[in-house]
Amino acid sequence: MTFLPVWAPAAQQMRVVIDDDIHEMHPTGGGWWESSISVAAGARYGYLIDDSADPRPDPRSPRQPDGVHGLSQVHDIDPEIWSDSAWTGKPIAGAIIYELHVGTFTPAGTLDGAIDRLDHLVGLGVDFVELMPVNAFNGTHNWGYDGVGWYAVQETYGGPDALARFVNACHLRGLGVIIDAVYNHLGPSGNYLPEFGPYLTTGATSWGQSVNLDEADSDEVRKYILGSALRWLEVFHVDGLRLDAVHALVDRTALHLLEELQIRTDELSRRVGRPLSLIAESDLNDPKLITARSEGGYGLAAQWSDDGHHAIHTTISGERQGYYADFGSLECLSKVLREGFFHALTYSSFRRRRHGRPIDPQHVTTTSLVVYTCNHDQIGNRAVGDRPSAYLTPGQLAAKAALVLTSPFTPMLFMGEEWAATSPFQFFTSHPEPELGEATANGRKAEFAEHGWDAAEIPDPQDPETFERSKLRWAEIEEAGHARVLDFYRALITLRKEVPELSDDDFASVAIDFDADNTWFAMHRGALTTIVTLTETSVATPFSGEVLVAWEPPSDDGILSGHNAVVLRRT
């Protein structure tokens, strides 16, 4: 039973609609209102603000069965779902993370459908499944970053009970779960928060108005965000959060929201008796995020490292456009693998200013950085959403995989990369409002037209086919070429888990050799060496030993074929 409290500090009158009956609410202080009517599970309800005749969904709605514009529903997770009491969790550091989008991971595009593929991830050697945002958004499908229901689970994915079933199924298989949570902006449709209170400011980010974290009445807004984050971790038994674009969180208070969330997460972790991790996506290259609180940092478990991606991708692919301009040299790759950040108080030509700050290796471990060959952004924000498998050779894909999976960082895969999936991952939306859909499609085309693309080549985000062709084609894993890539990924992951040198999280544990003229690059971790060759022609390197994993083994005289990756134990 609940009394449906709501925060609406500027309202003069508040009423709650419960199953078509209207009830007056009374203020309880601090801008909060409450009804004296108790409400049973399953009831539909919404709020009437002042003289409005249209009920609005609850900002803390646990379920939106009719979408983000509909009434909320009183809902608690069915306790019969949970059978994961034996799950004690695991740390993020050095684990294998697998990012997926629920809607395109399986033909069904649901959380229950995704359960059917978990055994594939177990066989691959994955430790954590990272779900792109699953909170409620308008429409039937999109990437999830246009969410407006920060406490609810998208109904087309199966709703809150389906998420609980998915997490429980993961835990029973030894898999942790990370949720991608977006607190830096709200979507363009279904955001009724400003009608309730000052959730937003007059400032703006690339995605719209800033969330009010430090202006008048921001304390309750911060509690709203903290409540959402902790709900994923506690109510849904989730093991970690990936926090989207934290550089867009404008917070000038002495206790930054990220540090406050880390404090609350640590408290919850102690209470539930298992590790709970926060991972930031940050464009700042600021080690403060991943420096311990005792050393003046925020103490987050990890952050995504775009520098790691850019250094590896440009070295292998040769691409240099846009923000790749400063990357691509073997010196750059060497610096990233040894120091973590490339831009660290160095000039960024893309930003046209100095950027980043060096990592202090005495206070930050290598596994605090999450590195990847690709992710949803690095594929989906390309003009046509093409994966590296569309424009790189299998040997080049192998080289990228070897650098990531034998690196000192925490590796992450993007769904399908492990078998060189041919399906693109394109930018797709399903805005029901025609004007919003048209604006989204036109904006996408205009953005890439500025970079020389023909607008006709840019997929229409609103076209249902854009969504459909982005779904994985699971039959590919049985095909010879794809199966070979999958075997290579499995071998690398097995090696990472079994060889002690690959668990060393000290920056000093990495040594590098390379030959720019003969186009080979070698990363040493103890007696282990990962060698990648960067041209189509065969290459001789000065390293020999026991070959542990190879895309193409060396010849008897130690020659490596072009575009190759080999991991060996040096003699």
389: left (phi over 0), alpha (psi -120 to 50) or beta: alpha
> Quick one: what percent of the chain has pLDDT higher than 70?
100
What does each C-alpha distance from 75 to 1, 4, 378 come to in angstroms?
Answer: 10, 12, 37
202-211, 244-253, 310-319: which has the minimum mean pLDDT? 202-211
Instruction: Check residue 454 and give its pLDDT.
Output: 84
Residue 454 is among the residues annotated as catalytic for this protein: no
pLDDT at 1 over 80: no
The pLDDT assigned to 205 comes to: 79
DSSP letters, 240-301, are EEEETTGGG----SSS-HHHHHHHHHHHHHHHHTS--EEEE--SS--GGGGS-GGGTS---S
Q: Is residue 2 scored above 70 in pLDDT?
A: no
Give the tens place of pLDDT for each residue, 32-78.
999 988 899 999 999 999 999 999 999 999 999 999 999 999 999 99
Q: Does 452 score more than 80 pLDDT?
A: no
Write the pLDDT tens digit of every residue in 79-101.
Answer: 999 999 999 999 999 999 999 99
Q: What is the pLDDT of residue 202?
A: 86
List domains and CATH numbers for the chain: 6-79 (2.60.40.10), 503-570 (2.60.40.1180)
CA–CA dist 168, 236 (Å, integer) = 9
Q: Residues annotated as binding site for substrate?
A: 242-247, 306-310, 376-381
Calculate helix-pair angle for 306-317, 394-405, nearest 10 degrees: 150
| Whole-angstrom distance, CA of residue 275 vs CA of residue 91 | 6
Q: For 322-379, write each residue's pLDDT tens digit.
A: 899 999 999 999 999 999 999 999 999 999 999 999 999 999 999 999 999 999 999 9
> Which candidate in 244, 259, 286, 418 is catalytic?
244
d(CA 377, CA 380): 5
pLDDT, mean of residues 412-432: 97
Is residue 314 a contact partner of residue 326, using CB atoms and an 8 Å limit? no
Does the active-site annotation cover 505?
Answer: no
pLDDT average, residue stretch 397-418 = 98
- Predicted confidence band of residue 501 (pLDDT cuts 50, 70, 90): very high
The pLDDT, as a whole number, for residue 3 is: 75
Please, which pLDDT band fits residue 447 given cuts at 50, 70 and 90?
Answer: confident
pLDDT in tens, 277-289: 999 999 999 999 9
State residue 146's pLDDT score.
94
Whether residue 190 contacts residue 148, with contact meaning beta carbons closer than 8 Å, is answered with yes
Lowest mean pLDDT among 221-230, 367-376, 448-457: 448-457
pLDDT of residue 505: 97
Q: Residue 448: what pLDDT? A: 87
Choose, from 127, 180, 260, 281, the residue flagged as catalytic: 281
Q: Please, what is the average pLDDT of the chain?
A: 96
Q: Is the dihedral of CA 450, 454, 455, 458 positive or negative?
A: negative
Q: Is 425 helix (H, G, I), strand (E, B) or coil?
A: coil
